[in-house]
Structure 1
Amino acid sequence: MNPRGRVLIVTNDFPPRPGGIQAFVHALAERRPPGSTVVYASRWPGWEEFDARRPYRVVRHPTSLMLPLPGVARRAAALVRREKCETVVFGAAAPLGLLAPAVRAAGARRVVMLTHGHEAAWAGTPLARGVLARIGAHADAITYLGEYTRERLARVVPPSRLVRLAPGVDTELFRPGAGGAGVRAELGIGGRPVVVCVSRLVARKGQDTLVRCWPAVLRAVPDAVLLLVGGGPSRRALTRLVAARGLGGSVVITGPVPWSSLPAYFDAGDVFAMPCRTRLRGLDVEGLGIVYLEASATGLPVVAGRSGGAPDAVREGETGLLVDGDRPEQVARALAVLLKDPDRAREMGARGRAWIEREWRWDLVAGRFSELLTGG
């Protein structure tokens, strides 16, 4: 292809570092035409092996965090010139979008900035709002995940530059029958009813609410199992909470699992639940919740918290149920309803799978991204 049509993606959020933003940016890069893309990313353990398997060039910053400082600006500008990149994409607008003037001066003709939950939070904070306004002033296009994030961003950045771009789902990987039987066998949970949560173990995601409500779920469905998949800073506290409540026989915390194994862990569940909640007066909020969409693609009904843009990933009453993640009793009722009515749960899961196939496939998202890069 014409080298002047190349794209530089500048991001702190890129595998092998785990996380939803990382998976989103990675998937966009993977679906670009061969030879069209260069990624400038921070380092993370395992980066050498990961980068060696990529069909495009990945340039790693010397450290695990890039900030909008002169050294990072110089490296990004040098890549624009050396790789003849016409378009620069910031994997997260805040804070690296502050580098936009530097990459424009180096020859970038178009600047696209992706936003997630934290930019929506910045829009509601006086000091951060000013920084976000500076970032948005230098963008040709600023993406948003859903109506929640669009409404908040539009208060700060030019609404005419806002374009919806939400993550897609790989429906070949996330599907019913993706290996859940093997996971159940390995964990020794057999055919018991399973509520699964696949997410980083942090306070916002609400795994503690699942543990707190679990005794009430067991009163309704005595043989149920809660499967918490993922690692994170809350793991030790969750383990203590499980022990304090005597739930060791019905709650399994797996710790981190390889990304390639995640579809099987989703498939091990009968219901997916992540009762996320907004924290720190709106600074810690769910931008969308790609795990809800991956669960729907796997044919599971979802129980989601009403935090930020999470409701955009659920069709209330059709593909799942929305709950207040700060109310364990409400979460317990929703889980018990679905576990005690497998037919209803399966119907919701089937509707969710059809919705994902219709509106959330990665080929559709990749097409929108390509149009966004060219301004089409």
Structure 2
Amino acid sequence: MGATLIITNDFPPRAGGIQEFVHQLALRRPAESVVVYCSTPRRQDPTNFDLRQPFPVIRERTSVLLPTPDVLRRARSIARLTGCDSALFGAAAPLGLMADGLRPAGVERVVALTHGHEAGWAILPGARPLLRRIGERTDTITYLGDYTRTRLARALTPAAASRMRQLAPGVDLDRFYPGAGGQWVRERYGIVGRPVVVCVSRLVPRKGQDTLLRAWPRVLADVPDAVLLIVGGGPYERRLAAMTRSLGITESVRFTGSVPWSELPAHYDAGDVFAMPCRTRNGGLDVEGLGIVYLEASATGLPVVAGDSGGAPDAVREGDTGYVVNGRWPGPVARRVIRLLRDPAAAREMGRRGRAWVEREWTWESSARRLTELL
């Protein structure tokens, strides 16, 4: 068996769920059987990261790889030199358009991952034909869950849709677990002994941190000493901070900014409840593909309150591991959060069931096995 060439724009040290998805899949392949060809992040030197990987990482100096003739020639050259007989596109759109062009270099099997943005392509008149071409040229297009499968299948030919297979990210159970260091996070932010709702995500409108803030005065009316811990950075941060001031809730809200990846489990563990009421925007173009944060929170033993955007409900067992709410309305968010905060025993039991569910169905090992079968 030859090696697998992973072609991707989404790869660490860039932070993000897709980046972690692709990286974890690569790490779980035999080291001698992986070559990564990717872009270079802006304002980050990836050299030290790349040298620590058990496989070669080849980067273009551009911050975005596009399916151009030059990129295709480089990918073909890498495939020939390293004996790659399979290829994995970290995101199907748009790089999957190069699939047929790799086959003369000895690539016999091509798999393309999809995420939330391909579901957006599926409803854009200009992008649907490109997605259809990608489906025709690859051997398998993956999907995260029922929502993304249904959206993508409508844009593909029947033959391509019949070759779709589920491949979702997993959770590192050795990193995300109850007791992963939350106490020192509580001490850092001065919230020891208080009920804590934690939200871990990039600060962008789709994630719904603004809905959480609008719900927070209602939460405080029932649980006066509660704290909202908003973990992450992003372009929405300044607006969210201003909203916190205008609502008069600054004393009970903590913004951490971006935190190192190694500290994320402890930040989850600092919470009693996890909430991220994401919502679909821009007519369905800006949509949640799955929401790995809900699964990481469940693995850490927290009940979750999730928004109803896209595939987010696939990461929650309604009423068992958490609740799904309309991410546009603060009222339902507040009611679910209050219910969990006021009944800590029931919340802990819900978190225990969430951990057990992740252990059964959402491990990286099971994701890696699926990828091996597809390749």
Task: Tell me, yes or no, if structure 1 residue 15 matches structure 2 residue 17.
Answer: no
Instruction: After TM superposition, list the pairs within 5 Å mapping 1:259-298 onto structure 2.
Output: 259-298=261-300
1:184-213 deviation digits (Å, cap 9, x = unpaired): 011111010000011111110001111111
**1:363 Cα offset (Å):** 1.1
Query: What is the distance in 1 between the residues matched to 2:298 and 2:13?
Result: 25
TM-score (norm: length of structure 2): 0.97
Query: What is the distance in 2 between the residues matched to 1:130 and 1:20?
Result: 27
Instruction: After TM superposition, list the pairs within 5 Å mapping 1:124-163 onto structure 2.
Output: 124-157=123-156, 158-163=160-165
Instruction: After TM superposition, list the pairs within 5 Å mapping 1:117-266 onto structure 2.
Output: 117-157=116-156, 158-266=160-268
User: Structure 1 vs Structure 2: percent identity of aligned residues?
Assistant: 64
Task: Tell me, yes or no, if structure 1 residue 68 matches structure 2 residue 67.
Answer: yes
Query: What is the distance in 1 between the residues matched to 2:38 and 2:206?
Result: 26
SS in 2 for 1:249: helix
Moved over 4 A (4+): none
2:355 corresponds in structure 1 to 353
SS in 1 for 2:149: helix
Amino acid paired to 2:57: V
Check conservation: 2:100, 2:138, Cα contact below 8 A. Answer: no
1:207-247 deviation digits (Å, cap 9, x = unpaired): 11111111111001000000010111101111111111121
1:57-88 deviation digits (Å, cap 9, x = unpaired): 00011111111112211111111111110001
**1:327 Cα offset (Å):** 0.3
**1:156 Cα offset (Å):** 1.9
Query: What is the distance in 2 between the residues matched to 1:65 and 1:246?
Result: 42
Query: What is the distance in 2 between the residues matched to 1:127 and 1:161?
Result: 23
2:87 corresponds in structure 1 to 88
SS in 2 for 1:7: strand
Query: What is the distance in 1 between the residues matched to 2:248 and 2:62?
Result: 42
**1:105 Cα offset (Å):** 2.4
**1:46 Cα offset (Å):** 3.2
**1:366 Cα offset (Å):** 0.9
Task: Tell me, yes or no, if structure 1 residue 332 matches structure 2 residue 334.
Answer: yes
Query: What is the distance in 2 between the residues matched to 1:247 and 1:16?
Result: 34
Task: Tell me, yes or no, if structure 1 residue 306 matches structure 2 residue 311.
Answer: no
Amino acid paired to 1:114: L
SS in 1 for 2:317: coil
Amino acid paired to 1:43: T
Amino acid paired to 1:142: I
**1:248 Cα offset (Å):** 1.4
1:37 corresponds in structure 2 to 34
Query: What is the distance in 1 between the residues matched to 2:237 and 2:37?
Result: 31
Query: What is the distance in 1 between the residues matched to 2:98 and 2:242?
Result: 43
Higher mean C-alpha displacement, 359-368 vs 166-175: 359-368
Query: What is the distance in 2 between the residues matched to 1:14 and 1:246?
Result: 39
**1:152 Cα offset (Å):** 1.2
SS in 1 for 2:142: strand
Query: What is the distance in 1 between the residues matched to 2:253 and 2:70?
Result: 47
Gap runs ≥5 in structure 1: none
SS in 2 for 1:254: strand
1:333-373 deviation digits (Å, cap 9, x = unpaired): 11111111111100110000000011111111111111111
Query: What is the distance in 2 between the residues matched to 1:46 and 1:148?
Result: 36
**1:161 Cα offset (Å):** 1.1
Query: What is the distance in 2 between the residues matched to 1:259 and 1:212?
Result: 28
Query: What is the distance in 2 between the residues matched to 1:63 and 1:335?
Result: 44
1:22-42 deviation digits (Å, cap 9, x = unpaired): 110010001111211000111
1:97 corresponds in structure 2 to 96
Check conservation: 2:185, 2:267, Cα contact below 8 A. Answer: yes
**1:307 Cα offset (Å):** 0.6
Instruction: After TM superposition, list the pairs within 5 Å mapping 1:352-371 onto structure 2.
Output: 352-371=354-373
Gap runs ≥5 in structure 2: none
**1:139 Cα offset (Å):** 0.7
